[in-house]
Amino acid sequence: MAFEYRTWVEVSKRRIAENFRAIRDVLGPGVEIAGVVKADAYGHGAIEVSRILAAEGARWLAVSTVEEGVELRRAGIDTRLLVMADSLPSTRAALAEYDLTPVVHSFEDLRALDGFARSRGTRLRYHLKADTGMGRLGVAARAAGIASASGAASHLELEGLMSHLASAADYTTSQTECQIRTFADLCRDLSSVGIAPKLRHLASTHPIAYGRREAWFDMVRPGLGLYGYASPPAGPAPAKILHLQPALAWKAAVLATQEIPEGTPVGYGATFRARRPMRIAVVGAGYADGVLHQLSNRGHVVAAGTLVPIVGAVSMDLTTIDVTGCPSIQAGDAVTLLGSDGSASIDAAQIASLAGTIAYDVLCGIRSRVKRVYVP
């Protein structure tokens, strides 16, 4: 069979929509959803995913940078767009021009943003990030300090208060409970001094999937869940209440097959030598496409409905697999690097476990030269 692309991903629009609905159904009507589409929607294609989510009724989407937000606006996405990690002075004009809502991480940035809005004769909405124990971005001030700083910003409107959980999937530590309590206390203390942001948000996918309702507040920010995954828990986790389906399958064409005798070295560094006469196939995807080099001699792909091993080092453009047990595989056939074929499958979480990384890394690591194909 001939294929148009050497390697490509197939993104199921239906599954992304169904994952969004599953999240919405678990949350109920009282909690807003900000679908996270940063990093090109975790490799799924931010523009197309944003269109799917907007069609499903999403009122908020979240990106990391102003540049990502501008790209969505230029593509016609008209939902609210929250910019979570960009406070560069050079991007402030685009915030106003493209109606992007910034997350402010410090009082210095708050004063600078207020000065910008004043110079433009406009008023901007923003969300303030509080550091509740992650030790990364966010203000560590108490309610009085936030009240003073936000009150002085006369050209800004404090629309939201947010924070970020550092160890949401780890039930062997009390860090998450401490962060939730710190955030709840801050919200209460702000309310007592007359500040009640419309949207308070803390949780991403895992607290939704495992029913940590005390972390949901007014809005949640699912990212990985939209694409069919929830980080596996560590320790004594509660029952999972959210069921998702991976939305992406990654495939590549077989470029050649050959029979090799026992003792033949395969790939760079001769890290694999055939232990018997075997049949190998060379697949048109390598680490420049996002196939993790750590999968050399330990990963698997699905060929002709069978899980087969990667042999030798993953190279920049090519990966070699053992197809001794798949006599039907020929040059021009497709193999599945991530996804299902027949009864065999491999997902991003399994690949991550083999490679010693996380599912986010696997999905976000699929490079731009891998063509995205959207299927119903």
Domain membership of residue 278 (yes or no) is: yes
Q: Read off the pLDDT of residues 339-374 as tens digits, 9 standing for 90 and up.
A: 999 999 999 999 999 999 999 999 999 999 999 999
- 190 and 264 assigned to the same domain: no
Bridging pattern class, strands 124-129 and 156-162: parallel
Res 283: pLDDT = 98
- Does a structural domain hold residue 110? yes
366 alpha-carbon distance from chain centroid: 12
Identify the band that residue 48 occupies on the pLDDT scale cut at 50, 70 and 90: very high
CA–CA distance, 249 with 319 (Å, rounded to integer): 17
* 168 and 313 together in one domain: no
Q: Are residues 162 and 77 in the same domain?
A: yes
For residue 87, what pLDDT is reported? 82
Instruction: Based on the fold, state whether residues 133 and 264 are members of the same structural domain.
Output: no
Percent of residues in the chain assigned helix, strand, coil, to nearest 5: 30, 25, 40
Domain that includes residue 275, residue range? 248-375
Q: Are residues 334 and 219 in the same domain?
A: no
Predicted pLDDT of residue 332: 93
Q: How far is CA 192 from CA 17, 196, 201, in A?
A: 40, 9, 19
SS3 81: strand
Least trusted range by pLDDT, from 84-93, 127-136, 336-345? 84-93
Q: What is the CATH number of the domain that holds 319?
A: 2.40.37.10
Q: Is residue 69 in some structural domain? A: yes
Query: Is residue 222 located within the same domain as residue 322?
Result: no
Domain assignment present for residue 286? The answer is yes
pLDDT of residue 286: 98
Summarised one tens digit per residue, pLDDT across range 185-233 is 999 999 999 999 999 999 999 999 999 999 999 999 999 999 999 999 9
Give mean pLDDT, residues 63-88: 96
In this structure, is residue 139 part of a structural domain?
yes
Q: Which of 13, 38, 198, 287 is catalytic?
A: 38
Together in a domain, 255 and 368: yes
What pLDDT score does 2 carry?
Answer: 56
Q: Give the residue among 202, 178, 191, 244 at the shortest CA–CA distance from 24.
A: 244
pLDDT over 90 for what percent of the chain? 98
Phi, psi values for residue 195, rounded to 5° = -115, 115
Q: Which of 129, 198, 268, 287 is catalytic?
A: 268
Whether residue 276 is predicted with pLDDT greater than 80 in this model: the reply is yes
Q: Are residues 169 and 253 in the same domain?
A: no
Answer with the one of 193, 227, 261 that is the final residue of a domain. Answer: 227
Name the pLDDT band for 270 (thresholds 50, 70, 90): very high
Q: What is the pLDDT of residues 169-188, one digit of tens each?
A: 999 999 999 999 999 999 99
Q: CATH number, domain at 143?
A: 3.20.20.10
Split at pLDDT 50, 70, 90, the class of 141 is confident
**Is there a catalytic annotation at residue 371?**
no
Q: What is the mean pLDDT of the chain?
A: 96
Are 69 and 107 in a shared domain? yes
Residue 292 lies in a domain: yes
Both 223 and 265 in one domain: the answer is no
Report the domain count for the chain.
Answer: 2
SS3 143: helix
Q: What is the CA radius of gyration of the chain?
A: 24
* Rounded (10°) angle between helices 66-74 and 46-55: 60
Task: Say if residues 40 and 367 touch (Cβ distance below 8 Å).
Answer: no
**Domain end position, chosen among 192, 227, 262:** 227
Q: CA 155, CA 113: separation in Å to the nearest integer?
A: 9
Supply the pTM of this predicted model. Answer: 0.95
Express each pLDDT in 51-60 by its tens digit.
999 999 999 9
pLDDT of residue 227: 98
Q: Are residues 307 and 214 in the same domain?
A: no
In this structure, are 208 and 257 located in the same domain? no
Answer yes or no: is 191 within a domain: yes
The CA distance from 352 to 7, in Å, is 20
d(CA 90, CA 83): 14
Buried b (16+ CB within 10 A) or exposed e, 26-42: bbeeebbbbbbbbbbbb
Instruction: Return the number of other C-beta atoms located less than 10 Å from residue 328's C-beta.
Output: 10
In a domain, 73, yes or no: yes
Instruction: Tell which of 195, 227, 259 closes a domain.
Output: 227
Could you give the CA distance from residue 8 to residue 337 in angstroms, rounded to a whole number?
A: 10
Sheet strands (E) in the chain: 7-12, 32-36, 60-63, 80-83, 101-104, 124-129, 156-162, 199-201, 219-220, 248-260, 265-266, 272-273, 278-283, 300-303, 306-309, 319-322, 334-341, 344-346, 371-375
The structure tokens 């629009």 sit at 13
Q: Is 129 assigned a catalytic role?
A: no
Sign (positive/negative) of CA torsion 152, 158, 161, 164? negative
